[in-house]
Structure 1
Amino acid sequence: MELTQQQKEAAFDEKADELGEALEEWYEEEAQAIDANIVEDAPSGTGGSIISKTPAIDSKRVLDASSVTSEILDIEIPPEIIKPGGYDSCDEMLDDLLPKLRDVYSGKRKVKKRKVEKEMIEV
């Protein structure tokens, strides 16, 4: 028996805290790994550093968080719900992604199936 949209939303809500904590942990690990590669004394000139002008986690990197959503929700993050350019903070990412993931999970928001998923379904 297929769950209703409301039942799926309720199921997501039950997992929301766990998902938020896991995504926050993922974000911190990713941001730390990026920061570790930045040279501390990189020249910034009078206009500031170019490093400070980029998002902490870019949109392509957010796709790597699908490992978290796959484990907790059994779905990957659809690329089309990620904010173009990425996120400057973990709070910004969570505020943007969690409502969108809830809509995808419940079926309220339709997303394109990835080619790999389509091929696996057809087999």
Structure 2
Amino acid sequence: MDATKDQLEEIFNAKTPLLISALEAWFEEETASIDGTVPAGAPSGSGGSIIAMRPAIDSKRVIDATSVTKEVLGIELPPEIIKAGGYASCDEMIADIVPKLQKVFAGEIKVKKRKTIREPEKV
């Protein structure tokens, strides 16, 4: 028997705190500087930085958060619900993605199924 929309929303709501916590941990790990933090006294120049103009995480990297959604919700993170360009902060990402994920989970938003890659035939 399939769950109703209301039942799916209840399931999603119960999993939301874990989902948000896991997305926050994922975001922190993904945006952590490879070299560690930049010292406060490091010269930055007077013209600003091109890096400061980019989002904290771009939309293509956000797709990697599908590992989180699969673990917590049992579904992939559909690329079509990710904001083009990415997100300036974790809070912005969560505020945008979580409500959309709820609609995907409950079946309100239909997403394309990804094609599975077939194994080549053995000769």
Q: CA deviation at 1:46?
A: 3.6
Cα separation, partners in 2 of 1:37 and 1:12, compared to 1, 3 Å: same
List alignment gaps of at least 5 residues for structure 1. Answer: none
- Partner residue of 1:71? 71
TM-score, reference length from structure 1: 0.85
The residue number in structure 2 matching 1:3 is 3
Q: Measure the CA separation in 2 of the matches of 1:99 and 1:107.
A: 12
The equivalent residue for 2:50 is 50
The Cα shift of 1:45 comes to 4.8
Two-structure CA RMSD over aligned residues (Å): 2.1
Name the counterpart of 2:13. 13
Give the deviation of 1:38 after TM superposition.
8.6
Q: Partner of 1:86: helix, strand, or coil?
A: coil
Q: Give the drift of 1:43.
A: 7.7
Aligned residues with identical type, % of pairs? 57
Is the 8 Å Cα contact of residues 63 and 79 (structure 1) preserved in structure 2? yes
Offset of 1:114 from its aligned partner? 1.1
Q: What TM-score do you get using the length of structure 2 for normalisation? A: 0.85
Point out 4+ residue stretches in structure 1 off by more than 4 angstroms: 37-45
The alpha-carbon distance between structure 1 residues 43 and 114, as it changes in their structure 2 partners (threshold 3 A), is farther
Alpha-carbon distance in structure 2 between the residues aligned to 1:95 and 1:8? 20
